[in-house]
């Protein structure tokens, strides 16, 4: 929602303790999002299939139809009839200040889904789970799913993201010892170091790669063999950064699925983030595979061949 004025004109600093304000918002836009949905959407654009494992509420019909229309499987999206789907409400003023409210709803029951059940059902359909990701979700769901991935021997990325306030240092250490890869933005990386007391070297004793994104400055992939700097791809326009991190993570999953080296994987992820930032919302950008290959060559000076699986 867009408030066509400035919050500061209507909020009295000396009356914050008794705040009671209302903003007229003539502009309103509804977008489909969520980390899992965004990652699956971007992975599908590259030609791969990601199986979402999530809980939604009784109001999820439009989103489920959107997923179906875009070829995203919903086999493991469980509808909780007693809840609403997780959703955020944001009002932005003319200075780009924002007031957010977030309702987790059915997301708090994400632990009702089990990695091993999904894996076994897919195996019966002759589809193997090659890699997973534990992205921001309900706290109990993240804890259980990380443990289930580890117990099943399925390599996975741990992505702390917006769930950062939910976990202390000991919980983060547990996630890191279970995960195969750790993906963070630069701020989250500082927080993880502070809460765990672990250095880069100590973390790399547990994970195969530590991926740190730095926005317009690109990203860095830390491995036991050394540090790999990934340049930022050039966007055609900077419109909306929301969801760029999820697009980047879809690129990581694509590279891992197809056994690509880290420099190529990181550049695919970087380009996905740049393409996403050119559009409002998190699932409104589109491209075909030829366009992606062309932009990869233009940005990084090397050819790319996209596989499917």
- Concatenating the DSSP letter of every residue in 80-107 gives ETTSPPPEEEEEE-TT--EEEEEE-GGG
Query: How many Cβ atoms sit within 10 Å of the Cβ of residue 148?
Result: 22
Query: CA-based diameter of the chain, in Å?
Result: 64
| In a domain? residue 151 | yes
| In a domain? residue 6 | no
Label residue 146 by pLDDT band (50, 70, 90).
very high
Instruction: Give the pLDDT confidence score for residue 309 in this predicted structure.
Output: 59
pLDDT in tens, 250-307: 999 999 999 999 999 999 999 999 999 999 999 999 999 999 999 999 999 999 998 8
Tokens of 182: 């750790």
Instruction: Give the pLDDT confidence score for residue 14 in this predicted structure.
Output: 85
Mean pLDDT, residues 179-207: 97
Instruction: Give the pLDDT confidence score for residue 113 in this predicted structure.
Output: 96
Is the pLDDT score of 308 beyond 70? no
| In a domain? residue 26 | no
Mean pLDDT, residues 149-166: 96
Instruction: Give the pLDDT confidence score for residue 175 in this predicted structure.
Output: 98
Please report, rounded to a whole number, the percentage of residues in the chain having pLDDT higher than 90. 91
Q: Which residues span the domain enclosing 238?
A: 73-79+110-300
Label residue 2 by pLDDT band (50, 70, 90).
very high
Instruction: Give the pLDDT confidence score for residue 56 in this predicted structure.
Output: 97
The b-or-e profile of 52-64 (16+ CB within 10 A means b, else e) is bbbbbbeebeebe
pTM above 0.85, yes or no: yes
E strand or H helix at 161, and its extent? none
Count of the separate structural domains present in the chain: 1
Using a 10 angstrom Cβ sphere, with 0-12 exposed, 13-18 middle and 19 or more buried, the burial of residue 288 is: exposed
| In a domain? residue 36 | no
Is the pLDDT score of 230 beyond 90? yes
pLDDT in tens, 16-52: 888 888 999 998 999 999 999 999 999 999 999 999 9
Average pLDDT, the chain: 95
Tokens of 274: 């740049």
Instruction: Give the pLDDT confidence score for residue 123 in this predicted structure.
Output: 92
Instruction: Give the pLDDT confidence score for residue 304 in this predicted structure.
Output: 95
* Contact (Cβ atoms closer than 8 angstroms) between residue 176 and residue 196: yes
Cα gap 302→12, rounded to integer Å: 56
* Contact (Cβ atoms closer than 8 angstroms) between residue 52 and residue 66: no
Mean pLDDT, residues 47-59: 96
Label residue 72 by pLDDT band (50, 70, 90).
very high
Label residue 54 by pLDDT band (50, 70, 90).
very high
| In a domain? residue 15 | no
| In a domain? residue 125 | yes
DSSP helix/strand/coil, 296: helix
Please report, rounded to a whole number, the percentage of residues in the chain having pLDDT higher than 70. 99
CATH label of the domain that carries residue 191: 3.40.1190.20
| In a domain? residue 89 | no
| In a domain? residue 273 | yes
């Amino acid at each position: 929602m867009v408030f066509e004025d400035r919050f500061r004109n209507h909020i009295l600093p000396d009356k914050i303790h008794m705040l009671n304000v209302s903003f007229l918002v003539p502009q309103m836009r509804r977008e489909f999002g969520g980390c899992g949905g965004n990652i699956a959407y971007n992975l599908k654009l590259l030609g791969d299939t990601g199986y979402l494992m999530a809980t939604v509420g009784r109001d999820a019909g439009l989103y489920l139809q959107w997923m179906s229309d875009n070829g995203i499987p919903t086999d493991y999206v469980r509808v909780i009839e007693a809840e609403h789907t997780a959703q955020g409400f944001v009002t932005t003023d003319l200075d780009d200040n924002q007031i957010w409210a977030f309702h987790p709803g059915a997301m708090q029951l994400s632990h009702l889904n089990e990695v091993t059940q999904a894996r076994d059902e897919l195996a019966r359909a002759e589809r193997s789970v090659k890699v997973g990701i534990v992205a921001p979700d309900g706290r109990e769901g993240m804890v259980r799913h990380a443990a289930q991935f580890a117990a099943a021997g399925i390599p996975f990325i741990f992505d702390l993201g917006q769930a950062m306030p939910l976990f202390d240092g000991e919980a983060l250490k547990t996630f890191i010892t279970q995960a195969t890869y750790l993906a963070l933005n630069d701020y989250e990386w500082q927080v993880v170091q502070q809460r765990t007391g672990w250095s880069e070297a100590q973390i790399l004793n547990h994970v195969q790669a530590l991926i740190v994104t730095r926005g317009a400055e690109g990203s860095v992939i830390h491995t036991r063999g050394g540090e790999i700097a990934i340049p930022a791809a050039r966007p055609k326009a900077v419109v909306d950064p929301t969801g760029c991190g999820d697009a980047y993570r879809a690129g990581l999953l694509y590279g891992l699925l197809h056994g690509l080296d880290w420099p190529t994987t990181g550049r695919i992820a970087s380009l996905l983030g740049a393409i996403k930032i050119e559009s409002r919302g998190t699932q409104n950008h589109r491209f075909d595979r030829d366009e992606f290959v062309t932009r990869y060559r233009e940005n990084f000076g090397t050819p790319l061949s996209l596989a499917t699986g």
